[in-house]
Structure 1
Amino acid sequence: MLSTLVFAAQTTPATIDWNPSVAIVMIMCNLIAIAIGRYAIQKPGQGPDLPVPQPEMWDKFGVPELLATTSLGHIIGAGVILGLGNAGVL
């Protein structure tokens, strides 16, 4: 058991450091998730509204929708960043 844990600790891949290209990938993943969520959420506008002015086409996009879509965007972004980092692209 102990040898398995030591072996697992030695084979853990290194992750890449933060840099502007990592930030751009995360921002793009969040924007894609927001765009998908804008049309996929079935009952928009159920919670509080965003405290900033919004364009007319985003009138029913409130705090719950923003939190849900950016949470999904961060999950997708983490996977994309890890994948691109392991592939050597980032």
Structure 2
Amino acid sequence: MLTVTPRAFEWTPTVGIIMILCNVVAIAFAKYTMKNPSAEPQIPAGNLFGGFGLPAILASTSFGHVLGAGVILGLSNIGVL
């Protein structure tokens, strides 16, 4: 057990770009699948996010981060990153 150590992974701009792309994909997915994306409370610049309310932004970006973490870990494990 002591010889099994997780691979240390450093942040690079590529990792940041992958996370941003995963969040954009998650927001686009949410735009077309959410029943009520403009639920209250509204955010100040809601038109920048397609008219999403705060619950929709939190839900879609949370999903985007989970998706991004999976993609980054997967690409790291297969040796692409």
Normalising by structure 2, we get a TM-score of 0.88
| 1:70 maps to which of 61, 65, 71 | 61
Amino-acid identity (%): 47
Question: Which structure is richer in relative contact order (CA contacts within 8 A, separation 6 or more)?
Answer: 1
Cα distance, 1:82–1:15 mapped onto 2, change above 3 Å: farther
CA distance in 2, matches of 1:78, 1:46: 27
Normalising by structure 1, we get a TM-score of 0.80
1:21 partner amino acid: T
Structure 1 vs Structure 2 CA RMSD? 1.8
Which segments of 5 or more consecutive residues in structure 2 lack a partner in the other structure? Answer: none
Q: In 2, are the aligned partners of 1:25 and 1:81 still within 8 Å (CA)?
A: yes
Match of 2:47 in 1: 54
Matched length? 81
CA distance in 1, matches of 2:55, 2:46: 16
Q: Whose radius of gyration is greater, 1 or 2?
A: 1
Q: In 2, are the aligned partners of 1:15 and 1:85 still within 8 Å (CA)?
A: no
